[in-house]
Amino acid sequence: LAARLSDPSLLATKAYINGEWAEAASGNTYDVVNPARGDVIATVVDLDRADVARAIAGAEAAQKDWAKRTAKERANILRAWFNLMMENQEDLAIILTAEMGKPLAEARGEIGYGASFVEFFAEEAKRIHGETIPGHMPDKRITVIKQPIGVAASITPWNFPNAMITRKCAPALAAGCAFVARPSELTPLSALALGVLAERAGLPAGILQIVPSNDASAIGKEFCENHTVRKLTFTGSTAVGRILLAQAAPQVMKCSMELGGNAPFIVFDDADLDEAVVGAMACKFRNNGQTCVCANRIYVQSGVYDAFAEKFAEAVRALKVGDGFEGAEMGPLISENAVKKVKDHIADATSKGAKIHVGGNPHDLGPLYFEPTILTGVTQDMKVSQEETFGPMAPLFKFETEDEVIAMANDTIFGLAAYFYAKDLSRVYKVAEALEYGIVGINTGIISTEVGPFGGVKQSGLGREGSTHGIEEYMEMKYMCMSV
């Protein structure tokens, strides 16, 4: 992997703690594997709870000075970090594809997207405004200030190894917090490369700690039980989110949770079908179906069902599957379990009457590859209507009326992203308002941007990331009441 990089020093394998590149006290390490080929690409340190406790203590010590700096000073360092990310976009993308498998073009896109949070929150640092409120008595003056919450800690998944970290740590650092990031055990290299660049950008020692560990649950416990950690921010499954919330409860810790989705993607009979196909392709097959905002259930109104299925099938058949370094549009899935889930959803649906329209089988490229698949005749009693497939399988449900599809779309414990295609303006408003989701894409399949508040309702999460709202998650309000 180092040989592919124009700057091999971006390939860091030790933990970044207190401005130093550290081994685990135990000396333990673990292997990082490339999912496209199954070969070991790096061996990284494997920290335990005590190592991470040391990183948390270092973050606490460093945070006080960081918070006292002017917003402009923090902004300048974040801006320098953003510039370095963009200057090293290609190398960062190569590291990302190597450890995670997504096509190189998508990896480049993720680096740009990840960096955009650093740019945005560098700007936002200067716009943390308080309030003055007219007093409730003649002698009272009321002021509200916002202060950094202190040390924040993150646990992030493998599907966006760069952007899931920057969208949490950029607002935290802008607000004046120190940040301890535990990347997914599957993708620590992208996180560590961010550490290399943060150091070069002049971020003071201890403000960003990057702590790779193969033992997620031990580190999760340390984050929740260590009283120095004042904020936990997590992206991952709802199942793990529940565990972390329960663990954080005794400490009444402030938590942000970006959890699972079960996104409906609705095509109404007045939709532009060609545009709906473009949106569905991007929304379903990007990252091989492994994003929490991927369309999981595609509802098509009966009058356009067959026409949509045909156009969609044509686009899906043209998808090129392969190694992310070799021009593929779809890479391997992340693990054998991921492949198993796709197979399980297909088997369940077909046993209950769904038909395979395209694909449906493991791909002959290797054990982690799966054919992009479309099922037709899918109904609400099938597993895919309740669970996220997180893979390249698009199930087409048929519906008749607006009310019926809104009820079906909302019939889930999840509420992250929803999408629909329609032209009638009153329908657009009515449906957008009725969908119980944190994000609604209307005539578009791509909704992620640093300027919009990303997050879910129901069991898809707590809090928002990105936009001016994203920085609030890392601050506390203090209300000062003074008698004059």
Site of interaction with ligand ADP (CB under 6 A): 155-157, 184-185, 216-217, 220, 236-237, 240, 243-244
The three-class DSSP label of residue 250 is helix
Tokens of 428: 């657009």
Tokens of 438: 């944190």
- Decide whether 301 or 448 has the Cβ nearer to ligand ADP: 448
The three-class DSSP label of residue 148 is strand
Smallest gap, in angstroms, from Cβ of residue 401 to ligand ADP? 35
Chain length of the chain = 484
Q: Would you say 371 and 391 are in contact if contact means Cβ atoms under 8 Å apart?
A: no
- Decide whether 114 or 377 has the Cβ nearer to ligand ADP: 114
Tokens of 51: 């190592």
Tokens of 179: 């940040």
The three-class DSSP label of residue 54 is helix
Smallest gap, in angstroms, from Cβ of residue 201 to ligand ADP? 25
For the question of residue 255 being annotated catalytic, the response is no
Nearest residue to 431 via CA among 457, 410, 448: 410
DSSP characters over 88-114: THHHHHHHHHHHH---HHHHHHHHHHH
Q: Which of 199, 258, 371, 473 is catalytic?
A: 258
- Decide whether 220 or 331 has the Cβ nearer to ligand ADP: 220
- Decide whether 12 or 333 has the Cβ nearer to ligand ADP: 333
For the question of residue 292 being annotated catalytic, the response is yes
Smallest gap, in angstroms, from Cβ of residue 157 to ligand ADP? 4
Question: Which residues are CB-contacts of 320 (< 8 A; sequence separation ≥ 6)?
Answer: 327, 328, 329, 330
Q: What is the C-alpha R_g of the chain?
A: 23
- Decide whether 220 or 441 has the Cβ nearer to ligand ADP: 220
Residue type, 362: P
Distance CA 180, CA 77 (A): 18
Q: Would you say 153 and 480 are in contact if contact means Cβ atoms under 8 Å apart?
A: no
Of all helices (H) and strands (E), which one includes residue 414?
none
DSSP characters over 35-57: TTT--EEEEEE---HHHHHHHHH
Smallest gap, in angstroms, from Cβ of residue 252 to ligand ADP? 19
- Decide whether 184 or 190 has the Cβ nearer to ligand ADP: 184
Smallest gap, in angstroms, from Cβ of residue 333 to ligand ADP? 11
- Decide whether 3 or 239 has the Cβ nearer to ligand ADP: 239
Distance CA 89, CA 112 (A): 7
Ramachandran assignment for 18, one of left (phi > 0), alpha (psi -120 to 50 degrees), beta (any other)? left
Q: Which of 169, 224, 292, 294 is catalytic?
A: 292
For tokens 């009979």, name the residue: 269
Distance CA 13, CA 24 (A): 11
Tokens of 175: 């607000």
Q: Would you say 331 and 103 are in contact if contact means Cβ atoms under 8 Å apart?
A: yes
Strands, E assignment, 304-362: 355-358
Buried-state track 348-369, b at ≥16 Cβ within 10 A, e below 16:
ebbeeebebbbbbeebebeebb
Ramachandran assignment for 475, one of left (phi > 0), alpha (psi -120 to 50 degrees), beta (any other)? beta
Q: Would you say 412 and 440 are in contact if contact means Cβ atoms under 8 Å apart?
A: no
Report the catalytic residues: 258, 292
